[in-house]
Structure 1
Amino acid sequence: MSAGTQAGRPRDPEVDERITRAAAELFGAHGWSGFSVDAVARRAGVGKASIYLRWPNKEALLVAALAGRLSGVKDIDTGSVRDDLVALARQVLNAFLGEDGGALLRLTVEAASVPAGQEHLDRFLQSQAAAARAIVRRGIERGQLGPDTSVTLLLDTISGGALNHALVAPARLRDQVAAGADRYAEELVDFVLRSVT
């Protein structure tokens, strides 16, 4: 056997997925203080040994779950500032209302006390800001937005509106709010653009 080759069965990516999903769900529901390898193993339906084969401790497990599941916001160029901003708002809404939304919401509150939490939150926020700035600058260059359009105010309004919409959704209505997220993104962007165009 060559150096670096492991004996035994290869790891099952489906098990990895179940474990990281369970870790993100548990962190989202109970925060860092309620996070443990035992609880993740129970939620994922695996033995603790399966987790410890992959990650040495709960800190490494949560770091892996956050790194793999909180992907950030991507820049989209459709040729229309309106459609680009709708895509941005949808990504923000889906990040907070989707499967890993609880973990992202929890991270916004507990980032400083979670291993590598601030790093993951900053990465998400920076990706959102970079995509949003690029969208607005392209809109100004194409003449779709006025040259004096405040990039900061426009982005704060759209991203902040999307985040607020996700935050105020009552738990019992989250699925309904998530189902209407695409339509809400269009309404939000159209409302904001009417005031700046």
Structure 2
Amino acid sequence: MAATPAGRPRDPEVDERITRAAAEVYGAEGWARFSVDAVARRAGVGKASIYLRWPNKEALLAAALATRLAGVRDIDTGSVRDDLVALAGQVLHAFLDESGGAMLRLMLEVESLPAGQEHLDRFLQSQAAAARAIVHRGIDRGQLSGDTSVTLLLNTISGGALNHALTTPARLRAKVAAGADRYAEELVDFVLASVTVPS
């Protein structure tokens, strides 16, 4: 007979609030000033609630980065244009939404952050895998020319999305984030003009 776990089960809503707060504190303050105290204050919980879940600040931030910056998903809409818009939109939101500061900070501090390269690689590899799948489907469907470069297409679309996020002043982030989906469409339409097969 299995033993019954002691205590109350963890509250997923509290977990989500803590990891969101951890991503926000890291994005705003960086690793040098990241602390369990600061996360507890932002999340509105006691430090004991955090230590019940994660043994130290390294484990806390690792959990926050794993859950808040999960990566880019491949979406198959049947249209290469719509697939790429979805890809660009995910990249934009990763950098502009509430946890976006953590993504930007991770790119700056990747070498000094514990397991930083692992978290960044996961995100970048998910982008590359999604783009590769989209391009191959587009070529198979005759929506893209057969010599379309996955690397150039990814660099152009993801690079354009990243540059848009990086050049956005902090005071305008919420406004730009609200328009991210429209910008994703404009970016993709501009890029596709050079690689789509004429009707």
Structure 1 window deviating more from structure 2 (13-22 vs 53-62): it is 13-22
TM-score, length-scaled by structure 1 = 0.95
Counting only pairs closer than 5 Å after superposition, residues 170-181 of structure 1 correspond to structure 2 as 170-181=169-180
What stretches of structure 1 of length at least 5 have no aligned partner?
none
1:76 aligns with 2:75: yes
Give, as a single letter, the amino acid of the residue that structure 1 aligns with 2:11: D
TM-score, length-scaled by structure 2 = 0.94
Moved over 6 A (4+): none
Separation of aligned partners in 1, 2:154 and 2:10: 42
Separation of aligned partners in 2, 1:144 and 1:126: 24
Partner of 1:143: 142
CA RMSD, aligned part only?
Answer: 1.3
Partner of 1:19: 18
Partner of 1:195: 194
Partner of 1:56: 55
Is the partner of 2:93 in helix, strand or coil?
helix
Separation of aligned partners in 2, 1:163 and 1:111: 16
What stretches of structure 2 of length at least 5 have no aligned partner?
none
Counting only pairs closer than 5 Å after superposition, residues 154-169 of structure 1 correspond to structure 2 as 154-169=153-168
User: How many residues are matched?
Assistant: 196
Structure 1 window deviating more from structure 2 (13-22 vs 153-162): it is 13-22
Counting only pairs closer than 5 Å after superposition, residues 77-116 of structure 1 correspond to structure 2 as 77-116=76-115
After superposition, give the CA deviation of every residue in 1:26-85 in whole Å (9 maximum; x if it has no partner).
Answer: 000011001011111111111111111111111111111111111110111111111111
Counting only pairs closer than 5 Å after superposition, residues 120-131 of structure 1 correspond to structure 2 as 120-131=119-130
Separation of aligned partners in 1, 2:111 and 2:155: 23
- The percent identity for this pair of structures is 84
Separation of aligned partners in 1, 2:195 and 2:10: 53
